[in-house]
Chain A
Amino acid sequence: MRQAGMVLALLLVAGAAWALAPGDRVYVRGRDVAVLQSTATGAATLAKLQPGDAVVWRGADKKRPTWHRVDAKGKSGFIYFANLSTTPPASELLTSPQGAKKVDAQAFASSGAAGKALTEGAIRYGNQDEKNKGALHPTMKEAVRQTQTVEAIAAQRTDEEIAAQASRVTGVQQ
Chain B
Amino acid sequence: MKRLLLSLGALGLVACAAASGFMKGDTSSIISGVTESTTTVVGLTQDLSKCDQIGAAEVTFDEERTIGGAVALNWVQQGGGLLVDVTTADANALASPKTLAIQETPRNQLHKYLNVVGKNLASRSTRPTLQWTFGVLDSEVVNAISAPGGYVFVSRGLLKRVTNEAALAGILSHEIAHVTRKDAFAIYQKTKVDQCKSLAYAKAGQKEGTAVLRTYSPGFINQAYSALQAFSGGALDLNAAANNALLTLFSDEFVHRYLEGGYARDQELQADSVALELTVASGYSPNGFVDFIGALPSGGNFFAHHPPPSDRVSAMKLTLGKTRMASATPTSPFSPFSQDLSALPLVPIHDELAAAR
Q: Quote the shortest CB–CB distance from A64 to chain B (angstroms).
A: 13
Count how many chain B residues have C-beta atoms less than 8 Å from C-beta atoms of the other chain.
Answer: 82
Interface residues of A in 157-174 (CB under 8 A from B): 157, 161-162, 165-166, 168-172
A-B contact pairs, 20 of them (CB 8 A): A16-B331, A82-B282, A86-B334, A93-B58, A95-B235, A95-B237, A113-B61, A117-B131, A119-B69, A122-B65, A122-B72, A142-B86, A145-B87, A147-B69, A149-B84, A154-B134, A165-B116, A168-B347, A169-B284, A171-B283
Q: Contacting chain B: which of A1-9, A18-26, A37-45?
A: A18-26
Q: What's the Cα separation between A84 and B333 when bound, in Å? A: 9
Q: Does A72 contact B (CB under 8 A)?
A: no
Pick from A16, A152, A168: contact of B97, CB below 8 A: A152
Residues of A within 8 A of B119 (CB): 31, 154, 157, 162
Question: Considering the complex, which residues of chain B in the window 63-87 have a beta carbon less than 8 Å from any beta carbon of chain A?
Answer: 63, 65-66, 68-70, 72-73, 76-78, 80-82, 84-87
**Are B86 and A149 in contact, with the CB atoms below 8 A?**
yes
Smallest beta-carbon distance B247→chain A, Å:
6
Q: How distant is the Cα of A136 from the Cα of B78 in the complex, in angstroms?
A: 8
CB contacts under 8 Å to A, within B322-340, are: 329-334, 336, 338-339
Q: Which range holds the interface residue count of chain A?
A: 35 or more
Alpha-carbon gap, A166 to B135, bound state (A): 20
Q: At the interface with chain A, which of B11-19, B122-130, B304-312?
A: B122-130
- Distance between Cα atoms of A13 and B331 in the complex (Å): 10
Given contacts A81-B333, A113-B61, contact A29 B72 (CB under 8 A): no
User: Are A152 and B100 in contact, with the CB atoms below 8 A?
Assistant: yes
B180 within 8 Å of A (CB atoms): yes
Let me know if A56 is at the binding interface, CB within 8 A: no
A52 within 8 A of B: yes
A87-102 CB mask vs B (1 if < 8 Å, else 0) is 1011011110001100
Q: How far is the CB of B340 from chain A (nearest CB, A)?
A: 11
Contact of B334 among A82, A117, A131 (CB under 8 A): A82
Assuming A121-B238, A122-B66, A162-B120, is B331 touching A150 (CB within 8 A)?
A: no
Least Cβ–Cβ distance between A61 and chain B, in angstroms:
11
In whole angstroms, what is the CA distance A88 to B278 when docked? 15
Q: What residues on A are CB-neighbors of B239 within 8 Å? A: 119-121
Q: Do the beta carbons of A17 and B84 come within 8 Å of each other? A: no
* A166 / chain B contacts, CB cutoff of 8 Å: 120, 282-283
- CB closest residue in chain A, given B335: A81
For B283, the closest partner residue in chain A by CB is A170
Contacts from A to B (Cβ < 8 Å):
13, 16-20, 26, 29-31, 51-52, 60, 66, 68, 81-82, 84-87, 89-90, 92-95, 99-100, 105-106, 108-109, 113-126, 128, 130-131, 136-140, 142-157, 161-162, 165-166, 168-172
Chain B interface residues (CB < 8 Å from chain A): 57-63, 65-66, 68-70, 72-73, 76-78, 80-82, 84-87, 94-95, 97-98, 100, 102, 108, 111-112, 115-117, 119-120, 123-135, 165, 180, 217, 220, 234-235, 237-241, 243-244, 247-248, 251, 281-284, 329-334, 336, 338-339, 345, 347
8 Å CB contact of A153 from B63, B73, B112, B347: B112
Given contacts A81-B334, A95-B237, A100-B60, contact A150 B131 (CB under 8 A): no
Tell me how far the C-beta of A128 lies from the nearest C-beta in chain B, rounded to whole angstroms: 7
The complex places the Cα of A28 from the Cα of B70 at a distance, in Å, of 32
* Contact of A51 with B97 in the complex, beta carbons under 8 Å: no
In the bound complex, CA of A118 to CA of B94 (Å):
10
- Do A150 and B84 touch (CB < 8 A)? yes
